[in-house]
Structure 1
């Protein structure tokens, strides 16, 4: 398996994008892989855009070039669209279908069905997932990031094992949250692997 892998993660403030990236980074290091990461916070505390770029396996720069991501992991549908400059025809696009409609605008939010249709018409590897619902079923909407992380580990080309991701999760979250987040990871994994 090629252990060179780049992942662009995006969403809005408060969804756990930075924590997800930290867990991926730690899991990579635990597997003996080099990892570099960059973060863009924007107005993250007010629901603004947040993104991270991770490159696993011997990269010198943390910035993913245009059309250079192996995976786009998005926590919100519109943020998926904003991240499309990082994808190419082989990029796997995994995204949460639950929208977060900004209260600061009166513009209509596009339908998630239209976003999904457009993505599937233009890209080969599109995996929409109702991560928000799966997180609620796991115990809390706050475990959305772990649902999506579980979905990522289901990708055969993703260089990290589910077990190393679970170990990193346990190392980064308080023990009282382990069981719920383990359920969330398993739920996300099963949503892709079946």
Structure 2
């Protein structure tokens, strides 16, 4: 029986920070099949919306999803490295302890852990506003809305239902992500004085 090393998620994150290009390639290889499946189903379920047969649609979806995921992952990892909140050489145990300290909302009394927790806290508060998450979903929802309008104008009920559900899902997911991110951001702002950071 294979036993995983302790703190696997922290080890994975630190490894990604040490080797961002490899991590981005791994993320792309995992995302590509999902994108291929979505495009293939899209081409099969909603015929006429794709200019190519479903195998080519799957290939297109896989390439687009893989490339976009890899690029976004690489950009995010490089941004984290530039921020300097987490040293890639950090021990996984220390990172796990710092994250637990932030969840509990009070310093641990261990200097190394508390310093890392303060750095993580400051980086998260100074990061992009959660509203940007919602902005990422808006273009997709607008595109779905346009396709929904076309389907309604043509009297195609099946396509109208498909695009309608997709548009509502995108808006709902964006709103949920933005609200959850804003709530966590507010909570972490209240923690700043406890870790010696000025509250903004």
Q: TM-score, normalised by structure 1?
A: 0.30
Name the larger-Rg structure: 2
Q: TM-score, normalised by structure 2?
A: 0.29
Greater percentage in strand:
1
Greater percentage in helix:
2
